[in-house]
Amino acid sequence: MSSDSPNSSLQRLARLFQHYAAQALNRYRRLGLFGKMVLFTWALINVFLITFIIVLTPARIFQFLYDEATKLSHTRFGFLALGAIIFLVSFPPLIGHTTTVTVCGFAYGWRIGFFIAAVASIVGSATSFSILRLLFSSRLRQWSAKNAKFMALETVVKEKGLPLIILIRVSPFPPWVYSNSLFASIQSVALWQFVIATTFVFPKLLLHAFIGSRMAALSDGNQREEMDTSTKIMNGCFVGGGIVIAVLASWLVYTLVQNHIRKLEGVSPAVDELAAEAIEDFDEEAPLLRGSQEP
């Protein structure tokens, strides 16, 4: 069976899921009593939130969120608050980039929301890239010298340059914040290349800002009352369709990137395979945020 068949792509995604699930289980087992209590408390809070949503009803909750988002959009520096959140979640181990981009569209509409998200994403990711590389350059050299997969990734990125950097950047794996860490870990990637590659993520930001804007229209009771049934259905389809498109596009891009890396011309198949596996296996612990010992 060829490596680019649907079954092969699904198998790689399954392995990726198993990889992260196994890591999560191992980390839980390594937690002390206090850590496990914190995790248990976090689970209880989520159960409480789900129960709260069911009892209070989603309509009332979304109306509250819409009212608060409206207040934020009318605040003089509200856009700076959202931009600051996007900036912060560009640094590992923080998460929430996609959610915050959606909130930008929810509060400001898709045009202004996209602009806020795009500027904050560029500034945040570039700053994260620079600081991580500056602080962990020594650890990086020690770690990469002992990791065959990462050395292979360094080789193919250095050989293929900006086009390959762009392809890896638009891939959904690793996620946004750890993608920043990944590129900071690849010494052959220059800051200007990373910034240019990041601009190719803008279509994804635009899609999520648009989804947020449609969700806002459906969240406000007054707007819903003024909509006819067909308009409500259309807005619902925009939200649902946008989410489906985002998921399918992420899966397609990830599959294409992995297949492309595994078939690079002028690079041995063994190095191609190791480079692809380096991206699949990269997570928040490697290599900038953990010790430099050999994995």
Q: What is the DSSP string of 157-185?
A: HHHH-HHHHHHHHHSSSS-HHHHHHHHHH
pLDDT tens digits, one per residue of 193-239: 999 999 999 999 999 999 888 888 777 767 666 776 776 677 678 77
Angle CA(257)–CA(273)–CA(139) in degrees, nearest 5? 90
Which pLDDT score, from 0 to 100, does residue 56 have?
58
More confident residue, 189 or 240: 189
Given a contact cutoff of 8 angstroms between Cβ atoms, the answer to whether 276 and 157 are in contact is no
- 246 vs 5, higher pLDDT: 246
| Over residues 22-42, mean pLDDT | 66
Q: Answer yes or no: are the C-beta atoms of 236 and 218 closer than 8 Å.
A: yes
pLDDT in tens, 147-203: 677 777 777 888 778 888 898 888 877 788 888 888 888 888 899 999 999 999 999
Asked which of 29-33, 69-73, 106-110 is least confident by mean pLDDT, the reply is 29-33
Q: How confident is the model at residue 295 (pLDDT cuts 50, 70, 90)?
A: very low
What ranges in 75-145 are assigned the alpha helix state H? 78-88, 97-145
Higher pLDDT, 93 or 88: 88
Give 288's pLDDT tier (boundaries 50, 70, 90). low
Query: Do 92 and 177 touch, CB atoms closer than 8 A?
Result: yes
pLDDT of residue 293: 41
What rounded mean pLDDT belongs to the chain? 76
- pLDDT band (50, 70, 90) for residue 294: very low
Tokens 């020690």 locate to 142
Tokens of 288: 């900038």
- The predicted pLDDT at position 36 comes to 67
Tell me, what's the pLDDT at 23? Answer: 64
Longest dimension (CA), the chain: 63
pLDDT higher for 44 or 27?
A: 44
In the chain, the amino acid numbered 54 is I
The pLDDT-based confidence of 292 (bands split at 50, 70, 90) is very low
Structure tokens at 248: 């399918």
Asked if residue 287 has a cis previous peptide bond (ω within 30° of 0), the answer is yes
Q: What is the pLDDT of residue 52?
A: 61
**Please, what is the Cα angle at 217 between 200 and 50, to 5 degrees?**
90
Report pLDDT for 40: 72
pTM surpassing 0.85?
A: no
Backbone angle region of 96, left / alpha / beta, with phi > 0 → left and psi within -120 to 50 → alpha: left
Residues 279, 151: Cα–Cα separation, whole Å: 12
**Do residues 92 and 284 touch, judged by C-beta distance below 8 A?**
yes
Domain boundaries, given as residue ranges, for the chain: 67-281
Query: pLDDT tens-digit profile of 37-47?
Result: 766 776 777 67
How sure is the predictor about 34, in pLDDT bands with cuts at 50, 70 and 90? low
What is residue 173's predicted lDDT score, i.e. its pLDDT?
76
